[in-house]
Amino acid sequence: MQKKKSEEKKRPPINQKTKNILWSKAAGMCQFQNCNKVLNVDKITKTDSNSAYIAHIYGYAKGSERYDAVLSPRLETDINNLMLLCDECHRRVDERNLGEVNYPASMLIEMKKKHENRINTVICIAPNMDSHIVIYKANIGEHSPVITYESVREYLLPDNYPALNRSINLGLENSPQRDKDSKFWETETDVLVENFNQNIRPLIQNSTINHISLFALAPMPLLIKLGTLLNDIRNLEVHQPIRNPKTWNLNDEDLSTDYKILILDKKQSKVALNISISGTINNERITDVLGEDVSIYTLTIQNPFNDFLKSKKQLVDFTIVIRKLFDQIKLKYGSNTQLHVFPAIPVAIAVELGRYWMPKADMPLIIYDENKLNDGFKKAIEIN
């Protein structure tokens, strides 16, 4: 990289083959972390240009930043010691007396490695693996979720890549309403349906969408409603926000889950579905809402907790169980009887519950939401 004025050593020539390989490994972009500036197009005129610097990690001359008496002479023309940088980043890493302090060789080597690995991953993806990123968020209590295109796009790789340089957003931005408010559910549902009909449905009808990657954070009734809107889409991945390890991707491990179905059934006039997976819902909290004249089916796991869902197999197993349970309850109570649903479930399971409910065949759903400020469960959304 840049040498001190006191040094007389000339920059060693780098052969054209090495330059070409470096350009291809970097995909013509600055390799400094989070820069990614395109270096072969003029920013103003959009014409072909070359604004790249081929910079040394270990400086080639004594007194230059990151000079190493052993490694610098050995690696002065080695591609593993070279980075493609824009002018601004080149100046940043070679700033006199600060470049080595702020950007040691180990840091730059890691930047170069990650950038080249990312490029290699992307170019190996087949052309038909593009996916539209769909984001849905709504206020949860006093919390307003934050999900951005930039924060989730990496979770598509390596199986897919973003079809657009932006996301399709289905939620109501900056809503002042909270889920304790009486108008919250009506407003949020109307906005969700309208945004879906305007932004997603035309793309489906025109066969423009190959695949959808869904990232959502919202109260469970709204997630279930979203799932019902998506039940005609086959190529869809519902990403799950996982706390530990922090990620949006379910793993491919063969994790088996024993979903248990418990029935308190005396053929009452009302029937309820208690889904206790991310937490436990006592049946008393249901009878407090519906009265004693209710049959309760409970779908649960041995130890419900909020970070239970880790693998794709666990999600698939749930869809099999819930589909059979919908049919079992309908067989006994008829398709016109309302099914009261009390959910404590992860995001992806809420969406898939809605997707596996069949609008023309299944019982109407009444979805409840629990809010301590409203003294327990209250009816939130009806799905007919």
| pLDDT digits 0-9 by tens, 208-221 | 888 999 999 999 99
Check residue 180 and give its pLDDT.
83
CB-based contact 179:369 (threshold 8 Å): yes
CB-based contact 353:225 (threshold 8 Å): no
pLDDT range class, residue 367, cuts 50, 70, 90: very high
Check residue 92 and give its pLDDT.
92
Check residue 113 and give its pLDDT.
95
Check residue 361 and give its pLDDT.
92
DSSP per position, 64-86: STT--TTHHHHHTT-GGGEEEE-
**pTM of the shown model:** 0.74
| Cβ burial 22-52 (10 Å sphere, 16+ → b, else e) | bbebbbebbbbeeeebebeeeeeeeeeeeeb
Identify the three-state secondary structure at position 37.
Answer: coil
Round to whole Å and give the CA distance between 325 and 332: 11
Mean pLDDT of the chain: 92
Structure tokens, 155: 């979770």
pLDDT tens track for 33-61: 999 999 998 888 888 989 999 999 999 98
Phi, psi for 366 (deg, rounded to 5): -115, 115
Can you tell me the mean pLDDT for 119-141? Answer: 86
Check residue 322 and give its pLDDT.
98
pLDDT tens track for 54-104: 999 999 988 888 999 999 999 999 999 999 999 999 999 998 877 788 899
Can you tell me the mean pLDDT for 24-29? Answer: 95
User: Quick check: 3 pLDDT over 60?
Assistant: no
pLDDT tens track for 260-304: 999 986 778 899 999 999 999 999 999 999 999 999 999 999 999
Can you tell me the mean pLDDT for 136-152? Answer: 94
Q: What kind and span of H or E run contains 376?
A: strand 376-383
Contacts of 278 (CB under 8 A, 6+ apart): 304, 305, 306, 308, 309, 344, 345, 346
